[in-house]
């Protein structure tokens, strides 16, 4: 894994192999690791992509994966660890965080998914990460937080503005939107 592009703080920092922050998000430690990530992506990814659109979906997925890798790298540097890290979990957690934003922006429900269900799913997947030895929980949290932020900026704010305009509850002046 290390020779194929997995993330390792020493190689990133001292050999300047920054690409590892990205390439590690496409690698997995075995078929079970890959299957777990693909199951979560299959269950949630299609719904999330329909909600935010393909371009946003790809941006949020990749951005969350990169943010998870970077936070993991930063944490390991702070703690003096030199682990080998790989997996799409940061990106998957970004989709989970993004889906929470989609549900909240849509008044607590989207395509039969409630805010309670999404928050429970996020908590459960985080719990399994913390309960499993060798899991990069910092990468999971980094991806989740990035998913919240990226989805709120790219989907949440425009959707809220659109909903306010169309509800008729706010009278926007098209000539001067700041009044």
Which residues make Cβ contacts (< 8 Å) with residue 66, sequence separation at least 6?
21, 22, 25, 90, 146
DSSP notation for 69-117: HHHHHHHHHHHT----B--SHHHHHHHHHHHHHHHHHTTTEETTEEHHH
- The DSSP letter of residue 24 is G
Token pair of 77 as six digits:
């540097």
Cβ-contact 83, 133 below 8 angstroms: no
Among residues 64, 69, 72, 140, which one is catalytic?
Answer: 140
Pick from 5, 1, 7: nearest CA to 67: 7
Is 89 marked active-site? yes
Is 162 tagged catalytic?
A: no
> Which is the catalytic residue, given 69, 72, 89, 154?
89
Angle between helices 89-105 and 115-131 (to 10 degrees): 160
Determine the Cα–Cα distance for residues 73 and 61; give it in Å rounded to an integer: 18
Active site residues: 89, 140
């Amino acid at each position: 894994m290390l020779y194929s592009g997995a993330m390792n703080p020493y190689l990133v920092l001292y050999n300047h192999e920054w690409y590892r922050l990205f390439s590690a998000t496409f690698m997995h430690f075995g078929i079970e690791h890959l299957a777990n990530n693909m199951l979560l992506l299959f269950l949630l990814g299609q719904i999330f992509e329909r909600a935010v659109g393909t371009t946003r979906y790809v941006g949020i997925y990749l951005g969350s994966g990169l943010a998870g890798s970077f936070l993991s790298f930063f944490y390991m540097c702070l703690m003096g660890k030199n682990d080998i890290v790989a997996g799409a979990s940061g990106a998957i957690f970004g989709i989970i965080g993004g889906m929470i934003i989609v549900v909240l922006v849509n008044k607590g429900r989207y395509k039969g998914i409630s805010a309670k269900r999404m928050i429970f799913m996020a908590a459960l997947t985080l719990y399994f990460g913390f309960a499993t030895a060798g899991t990069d929980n910092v990468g999971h949290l980094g991806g989740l937080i990035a998913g919240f932020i990226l989805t709120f900026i790219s989907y949440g704010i425009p959707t809220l503005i659109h909903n306010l305009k169309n509800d008729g509850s706010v009278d926007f002046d098209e000539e001067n939107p700041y009044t």
